Amino acid sequence: MYINITKSETGDNKGSSGALVHYLEKENRMQPEKGMGNEPERWFNGTDNDIKPHKVRMGIDRNVAKLGREDSKFFLINISPSQKELAHLVSRYGEDGAREKLKEFAARVMDEYARNFKRPGIDSHKDLLWFGKLENHRYYNHNDKEVKSGLKRKGERKEGRQMHIQIIVSRKDITNKIKLSPQNTSRGKNKAHSQKLGQFDRTAFKQSGETLFDELFDFERNLKDSLQYANTMKNGTARQKAQMHTLTELTRRHPQGQPLAMELAHDVAQGMFESVGEMLTTTGSMAADLLGLLMAPVEGAGEQQSPIEEEEKRRKRKKKAQSRGIRR
């Protein structure tokens, strides 16, 4: 699940939202292809599914009380399920049903967006001024490597399922009184000061969207497809990466250990363990289950060793090599 917050696709969010609204209407302006029908995709906001584009522009542009010329007036939230996630939705609800479920999901994501500010009176998407637009396709642009290499042309449609949601959300709440900026990640001087500023945790927001999708649609997420895995392998310490590697090895050899690995991965991402051994010993009743899975032989693998045995051998080889290096 890819969730991102930016200024706008047009690169400016300090003036009118008109250019962005116009850009996001691009699929409705295109000649419908054979079999697609002529029904345009309307804007929605959790309570209304038939909002005209000029209502979107007027709503956002008028909700700017006490914002200066250089202040951000709105933000763009991109909600893009993966190919696996989209396939899961379509298999459960069909093509049309998947579109409607994705819109419902977007409203729930905006609930999480509102709660992330931890501001009194900002508790759900109904406290925000926002408008969503479902897009069925993505198109190659000049920055894509396929276009640069000449394999694709700019504007050509990308392959596979590309359904996603774009949301324009006002900087001000629905009452036009409270400023809400996801750009504010400052901790503030203390807890009370942070609450006053409306601190926003982007990582927590993205994680909440992924968790929400899994819970709403009974999606069984693989560890390698999770946000905590991606963040750890990109930004984690060498120790965290080693622990995450052990968990991925567990799920590769024993798929039935996926739920257990996902639970442990959360603590790994938070830096809870000093070593793989501690990861095992601090999981309480789960430790025996994890150890059993790691030590169990892989069916059809002959005499292949368990990850723990392999890790122990690597550790001994490394220690032996270091010892030889010192003697020299």
pLDDT, residue 38, reads 59
Question: Chain centroid to CA 214: how far?
Answer: 12
HSE-up (13 A, CA, CB side) for residue 26: 14
pTM: 0.81
pLDDT, residue 327, reads 46
Q: Amino acid letter at 167?
A: I
Q: Do the beta carbons of residue 84 and residue 8 sit within 8 Å?
A: no
Q: Do the beta carbons of residue 136 and residue 163 sit within 8 Å?
A: yes
Mean pLDDT computed over 194-207: 78
Q: What percent of the chain has pLDDT over 70?
A: 78
CB atoms within 10 A of CB 226: 21
Residue 75: pLDDT band by 50, 70, 90 thresholds? Answer: very high
Q: Which residue has the higher pLDDT, 119 or 37?
A: 119
52 pLDDT above the threshold of 90: yes
Provide the token pair at 206: 């993205």
Question: CA triplet 274, 275, 276: central angle to 5 degrees?
Answer: 145
Mean pLDDT computed over 210-217: 96
Mean pLDDT computed over 303-310: 50
Mean pLDDT computed over 70-96: 96
Mean pLDDT computed over 136-141: 90
Q: Calculate the average pLDDT of the chain.
A: 84
Mean pLDDT computed over 207-219: 96
